[in-house]
Amino acid sequence: MVTRLSMQGRTAWLKSYGGGSRRLRLRALELTARRLGVPALRPPPHRVGAGARETEQRRLLELAACEVRVPSILGEGDTYLLLSDIGETLSARLRRSSPDQAYALVHRAARTLADAHARGGYIGQPLARNLTIDEHGRIGFIDFEEDPGEVMSVQQAQIRDWLIFAAGTSRYFRDPDRELSAIIAESLRGEAEEVRRGLGDAADRLGFVESVAGWFGRRARGLGGAVQALRRAAWVWALVAVLIGLGVDFAPDRELDSVKQMAELID
């Protein structure tokens, strides 16, 4: 739970870490990631209370050390953090933006994500609702109570960042295949070759999503558009071969279950 406060004329946020088990959901996502052969989709541990607070506090300090824009810690308790304000969410800004403005905002966010990776960092869940933009146009990141680095390498966590970023921003484009892919292809320029290659492989393995995602609502359609954009971006870099034979690996009954589970990542 997050509560907005005013402190000496400035906005701050009191974030409390409550309970709630996600054991079954996490197990389903783990099995889906293994079935698809995409380790970057493995879910990180979900902690509650003091454990979640400790994880977020550690991640904030790690990212700040990489010069990534994140909230400052103004105070702490066993199950809460008092955090500084670093702007409104990118999702809120995108909802009232024109198509040209949305393109520019997502492009700026993608470049900022790539810069964080270049400094050796990773974000975890860079959805539009977990990115911020302030009055100076600076992009920041929030929401770190889960750490994918506990179950995967830094490179896999960076691949995961791009998968989630694309899934969370594709809905703001009329033609994500063309527009979002151009943004991601340009932003990948500074990424390590291992990350570019791994992202292309993941996008190819998720290629079947494009044909079935429309059956499962807005979030799943966004996922389908994201996969399409990622595949085109990977093609621009010519880092992976064309998808071959996945239709045998993913029979129709598996396709449907996989799309449902992956859509959970952007819920």
Q: What is the pLDDT of residue 241?
A: 32
- Which among 107, 139, 146 is positioned nearest to 124, based on CA atoms? 146
- pLDDT value at position 168? 85
Residue-wise pLDDT tens digits, 172-198 = 888 877 888 889 888 988 888 899 888
**Amino acid 62: pLDDT:** 97
- Domain holding 102, by residue range, is 2-266
Residue 188 tokens, joined:
């990948």
Residue ranges of the chain with per-residue pLDDT less than 50: 212-223, 235-260, 262-263, 266-267
Q: Report the domain count for the chain.
A: 1
pLDDT of residue 215: 41
Look up tokens 């993941």; give the residue: 202
Report CA-CA distances (Å) from 138 to 33, 43, 112, 234. Answer: 33, 29, 9, 27
212 burial level (CB within 10 Å; 0-12, 13-18, 19+): middle
What is the model's pLDDT at position 173?
86
Q: What is the pLDDT of residue 166?
A: 87
CA–CA dist 147, 124 (Å, integer): 6
